[in-house]
A and B are shown apart, each in its own frame.
Chain A
Amino acid sequence: MLLVPLMFAITLFAFFLLKALPGDPVLGLVGERADPETMESMRRELGTDKGFVGQYAGYLKLLLKGDLGRSYYTNRDVLADISRKFPNTMLLAFAAMLVTVPLGTGLGFLSAVSAGGRSRFLERLIDTLSISGLSIPVFWSAIIIMMLFSLKLKLLPPSGTGGIRFLVLPAAVLAIPAAATLARVTKTTVLEILRMPYVTTARSKGLSALRVQLVHVLRNAVIPIVTIIGLDFGSYLNGAVVTETIFGWDGIGKFTMEGIIKRDYPVIMGCIITGTLVFVVVNLITDVIYHYLDPRIRLNVKKG
């Protein structure tokens, strides 16, 4: 398995980066009035007084036992916190994808198809929308959406973690740029396929336009679309920092960010490791889907 050396490399690299970062985790623990002795004894207690090799070895030893350690600040078990927060992040990612996929592919397809038509109004409209969707920064769209749907219309709560009421707004915010990207990718891919000889063949056979588009075009456009979806999904599963923070969604993104701000090494490392695993798994799933969509793509699985 390639996973073990990969995880090793990732932890080593992340650990190195953390140590190279300025800032001392003890500073957040001792408050504004710390004497050097207290700080020294805390460093000893946390093990941050040891050299790089010593600290890394200690961390690996812990990791091999399946332990991610405890947060420096809250003294809570990092693995337990991540297991509690990860489902929230996953829920948000799924919800965002639920909006993104139909919206993005649908708009992209429509735009491509209408590009050949006489009136290019629809194409221009969709292009404008997708460019705007791509360019609007998340923090801005998050604020606008919150102002509109929470404050003005009083439809949905502005923040909190929970059921669908709390999920809709952050998921929508995440879906905007993702759907925009997806629409653009879909459009380019479909336009390319429309020029393919087999599409001309299908048309000349006398198949209806709809049938050509659905069966011959869309099916062939699916692979790049799945790639984009896989990438977006992987990154959402690693937490959407800004969205989670603004909407008070108790997920991995916010957790990672707070860990970084406080230099809470066990939390940061735990999040990086989880994130790596998630990416590996999502990529694996994407590869499997490729294979089913296009049997020419082989899964290179060695036996034994």
Chain B
Amino acid sequence: MLALVVQPLSCTSSNRLEGYVYYRLNASPSTLDPALIADVSSAAIAAKLYNGLVRLDDGLGIAPDIARKWSISEDGLRYTFLLRRGVRFTNGREVKASDFKYSFERVLDPSTRSPNTWVFDKVEGAEEFLKGRAGEVRGFKAKGDYVFEITLKRPFSPFLSMLTMPPAYVVPREEVEKLGADFSSRPSGTGPFTLKEWLPDRELLLARRHDYFGGRSRVKGIAYRIIAEDLTAVTEFMLGNLDVIALPATAYARFKNDEKWSRYILSREGLNTYYLGMNSSRPPFDDPELRRAVSYAIDREKILNTFYEGRGRLAEGPVPHLLRRWKTGRPIEYDPERARRMIRKKGLEDLEVDMYVSADREVVDLAEIIQAYLARVGINVNIRQLEWSAYKDAVNKGEPDMFWLSWWADYPDPENFLFPLFHSRNLGPGGNRVRYVNREVDSLIEKGQYAVDEEERDYFYQKAEEIIIEDSPWVFFWHKTDYVITQPWIKGCRVYPVYSMDKGTDIMIDSSAVRR
């Protein structure tokens, strides 16, 4: 009946903008004000609208962005950046060193309500400014128009890496002051694209800038379509209405086994760690030996290769392989007999624990697998499914004995997988959701943060990681591989392990390959 009502339409992609590359977002970005960004959708778009002093290159190293050169003083306290000339905001004004001072102070200013103050809290004078006791941050200094200097309170080795994040992007003061709260939806920066149109919850269009200092983009623009449902996105992709999508887990096998498509799948080891957390602050899991027994009891490799279809790399510890410049001493292997012995020795057979999971099909299935493994060694797991907000709240408050979670890098430094997750200063919502407290680990992580020399830094990180593996507050599962699938006519697409890396200047549409 429907076919009678509707005229057949020649091509469903007819309303596409020519020369634009179409991406999918699963949620509408909440803000495009870099100071306020705390979600991945927003950050990925902000990367195309703004620039910072430095950025990440493809090898996860630090590359020049607006700063063309920089130097760090020998004591590791003073960072001097020499800025490029002729970098312009969309309103045509040139970026000066004072813009960085303004932008960075704005993140720390309590009236901005930025969730990202931690990015700059190691800067000299930041604390006084945050508490309203100083009118400026002493550690941010514009020396003339093209030299910007940052002074830290103490040496802090991941600092340069952190400067690649959205909160460290430069914004034009006059626009921010003119627009107020509306700057969130009417951004203006220095990046390769400008915001052309934003239909919240539907579509967001970025248009290429011709005067971008880093070489203009090879596509006319980028369109993001907001599609909540994975299946819908896959359908749109198969119809050619989307050019690039992150491959949803449910569609992985179908495309992988399809000869026509498998060669258009791109992948890259992700900067993330999936883990089963155990609340280390109270019985029963305040006992490291019991936590280790849990790790021995679960055959993670088998789960990864069967249930998870090999879409990741087995984790040896919290730090992803990409960031680990050292060898881990003794990763924990599957040994259920040993786990059983350890538990029996403690007289803990028939132990009952609560495992919380978010109500996501894949996670619930996984929880049941873990439950089965643990039942075999005498631990009875009660799975409690919670809706996402309630789940997050419960985990932050330390309610569950066990929970399933993952951590994704903000910046590619081992410190990002150690300090927030295992330092006792970050218990709960700060990142250390297992409430793991070990003074020795605290001190090793801090030493790593202060160490100026890279080898020395790695030494401390490695030591810290070894103790953490030994103490096993997590069962370290895997580092999930990121998969992206593109249309045959898309060239120059890459998978980026950190959301802020893709500036959108490499991708292009091969018009000779566009079908029909």
Which residues of A are in contact with B by a Cβ distance under 8 Å? 21-24, 27-36, 38-39, 41-42, 45, 73-76, 81, 85, 143, 146-147, 149-151, 153-161, 164-165, 168, 172, 245-248, 250, 254-255, 258, 261-263
Give complex CA distance A261, B393 in Å. Answer: 13
- Determine whether B235 belongs to the interface, using a CB cutoff of 8 Å to chain A: yes
Chain A residues closer than 8 Å to B118, beta-carbon distance: 33, 35
Cβ A31 vs Cβ B115 within 8 A: yes
Chain A residues closer than 8 Å to B229, beta-carbon distance: 159, 245-246, 248
Q: Which of B115, B181, B202 contacts A30 (CB 8 A)?
A: B115
Known: A74-B200, A150-B239. A159 touches B390 (CB 8 A): no
Q: Which of B12, B393, B426 contacts A156 (CB 8 A)?
A: B12
Cβ B389 vs Cβ A27 within 8 A: yes
Q: Closest 5 CB pairs between A and B?
A: A31-B38, A23-B389, A22-B390, A30-B115, A158-B235
Cβ B12 vs Cβ A150 within 8 A: yes
Known: A35-B118, A45-B113, A250-B202. A168 touches B431 (CB 8 A): no
Chain A residues closer than 8 Å to B5, beta-carbon distance: 168
Give complex CA distance A262, B407 in Å. Answer: 20
- Minimum CB–CB distance from A171 to chain B (whole Å) comes to 10
- Determine whether B342 belongs to the interface, using a CB cutoff of 8 Å to chain A: no
Known: A33-B118, A38-B115, A143-B231. A155 touches B6 (CB 8 A): yes
Cβ B389 vs Cβ A158 within 8 A: no
- Minimum CB–CB distance from B43 to chain A (whole Å) comes to 10
Chain B residues closer than 8 Å to A75, beta-carbon distance: 31, 181, 184
Give complex CA distance A8, B388 in Å. Answer: 30
Q: Which of A42, A151, A156 contacts B6 (CB 8 A)?
A: A156
- Minimum CB–CB distance from B127 to chain A (whole Å) comes to 11
Cβ A73 vs Cβ B30 within 8 A: yes
Cβ B393 vs Cβ A24 within 8 A: yes
Cβ B393 vs Cβ A32 within 8 A: no
Q: Which of B235, B394, B428 contacts A146 (CB 8 A)?
A: B235
Interface pairs (7), CB distance under 8 Å = A23-B390, A24-B389, A31-B38, A34-B430, A149-B2, A158-B232, A248-B232
Cβ A28 vs Cβ B239 within 8 A: no
Chain A residues closer than 8 Å to B2, beta-carbon distance: 149, 155, 168, 172
- Determine whether B371 belongs to the interface, using a CB cutoff of 8 Å to chain A: no
Cβ A36 vs Cβ B429 within 8 A: yes
The chain B residue with its CB closest to the CB of A146 is B235
Give complex CA distance A139, B235 in Å. Answer: 15
- Determine whether B99 belongs to the interface, using a CB cutoff of 8 Å to chain A: no
Q: Which of B241, B429, B431 contacts A27 (CB 8 A)?
A: B429
- Determine whether B214 belongs to the interface, using a CB cutoff of 8 Å to chain A: no
- Minimum CB–CB distance from A127 to chain B (whole Å) comes to 19
Cβ B389 vs Cβ A28 within 8 A: yes
- Minimum CB–CB distance from B58 to chain A (whole Å) comes to 25
Give complex CA distance A161, B28 in Å. Answer: 15
Q: Which of A28, A159, A258 contacts B236 (CB 8 A)?
A: A159
Give complex CA distance A246, B201 in Å. Answer: 13
- Determine whether B238 belongs to the interface, using a CB cutoff of 8 Å to chain A: yes
Cβ A74 vs Cβ B390 within 8 A: no
- Determine whether B392 belongs to the interface, using a CB cutoff of 8 Å to chain A: yes
The chain A residue with its CB closest to the CB of B121 is A35
Cβ B113 vs Cβ A41 within 8 A: yes
Chain B residues closer than 8 Å to A147, beta-carbon distance: 235
- Minimum CB–CB distance from B513 to chain A (whole Å) comes to 20
Cβ A22 vs Cβ B389 within 8 A: yes
- Determine whether B39 belongs to the interface, using a CB cutoff of 8 Å to chain A: yes
Cβ A23 vs Cβ B393 within 8 A: yes
Cβ A76 vs Cβ B200 within 8 A: yes
Chain A residues closer than 8 Å to B185, beta-carbon distance: 74, 76
Chain B residues closer than 8 Å to A74, beta-carbon distance: 28, 30-31, 184-185, 200
Chain A residues closer than 8 Å to B227, beta-carbon distance: 159, 248
Cβ B431 vs Cβ A42 within 8 A: no
- Determine whether B8 belongs to the interface, using a CB cutoff of 8 Å to chain A: yes
Known: A24-B389, A168-B5. 11 other contacts (CB 8 A): A27-B392, A31-B116, A33-B426, A35-B426, A36-B428, A41-B113, A74-B31, A75-B31, A150-B12, A151-B238, A261-B388
Give complex CA distance A60, B6 in Å. Answer: 47
Cβ A21 vs Cβ B390 within 8 A: yes
The chain A residue with its CB closest to the CB of B119 is A33
Cβ A168 vs Cβ B429 within 8 A: no
- Determine whether B323 belongs to the interface, using a CB cutoff of 8 Å to chain A: no
Chain A residues closer than 8 Å to B231, beta-carbon distance: 143, 146, 246
Give complex CA distance A85, B199 in Å. Answer: 11
Cβ A34 vs Cβ B202 within 8 A: no
- Minimum CB–CB distance from A21 to chain B (whole Å) comes to 7
The CB with the most chain A CB atoms within 10 A, among B200, B201, B388, is that of: B201
- Minimum CB–CB distance from A283 to chain B (whole Å) comes to 29
Cβ B232 vs Cβ A246 within 8 A: yes
- Minimum CB–CB distance from B357 to chain A (whole Å) comes to 15
